[in-house]
Structure 1
Amino acid sequence: MYYIELAVAIIMELLGTNLMKLSNGFTHLWFSIGTLVSYGLCFFFLSLSLKGIKLNIAYATWGGAGIVLAALVSYFIFHEQTSGLQIFGIALIVVGVIIANLAGGH
């Protein structure tokens, strides 16, 4: 159950980040409200997941997944260019999250 709550937190963080971009610096009311609601739900579900997942593991997974998913949305939805070096950096983050999870002892 804790990993489901963490997954919901990741999805809400991704939604909030993309709504933040669409809010254009909080100048579009509904996107701005959506950003705040999404982040509120994100932190709520992240806090629930911390009841059963170690903080360092939950935060690394949440942050790493958010970075990877945001990069994918950025590329495929917003058509923002990504360099090979940026992809390499994101891959390093993924490797770090995997190592942290394997060494974390759930």
Structure 2
Amino acid sequence: MLNAYLGYVVMAAALDIGANLCAAKSKGFAHRGWAVATIVLILSAFTALAQAVKGMDLAVAYATWGALGIIGTALLGQALLGHRLKPIGWAGIAVMIVAVVLIKLG
């Protein structure tokens, strides 16, 4: 059953990534359509995360959601929006991945 809860975490992360990209496109919520999409997606992400914590420890679910969201946002932000991270930013993401793995092992 853990796989179903992990699926909710992955869904929450995908929705979070979408919300982050919409927020960037909204230009500080100046574009209402993108702003509304941002709000709907983030509420949906938290709803999926709420389902995940019914069967997973909050720390594991939240850390995994956060890591996937950050990685996805960094990669898609670069691919779709031209955002660039410096090498230290990618190093930070690598440390975060290691941290999530350690949390899951603990």
Matched residue, 1:14? 17
TM-score by length of 1: 0.93
Q: CA deviation at 1:81?
A: 2.1
Structure 2 residue aligned with 1:51, among 54, 75, 83? 54
Structure 2 residue aligned with 1:94, among 69, 94, 97? 97
Gaps of 5+ in 1: none
Task: Determine if the alignment matches structure 1 residue 37 to structure 2 residue 30.
Answer: no
Matched residue, 1:80? 83
**Number of aligned residue pairs:** 103
Percent identity of paired positions between Structure 1 and Structure 2: 28
Alpha carbon RMSD of aligned pairs, Å? 0.8
Gaps of 5+ in 2: none
For residue 15 of structure 1, what is the amino acid of its counterpart? Answer: G
For residue 53 of structure 1, what is the amino acid of its counterpart? Answer: M
Q: CA deviation at 1:77?
A: 1.3
Q: Deviations over 1:59-98 (max 9, x none)?
A: 1000111111111112111112221111111100011011
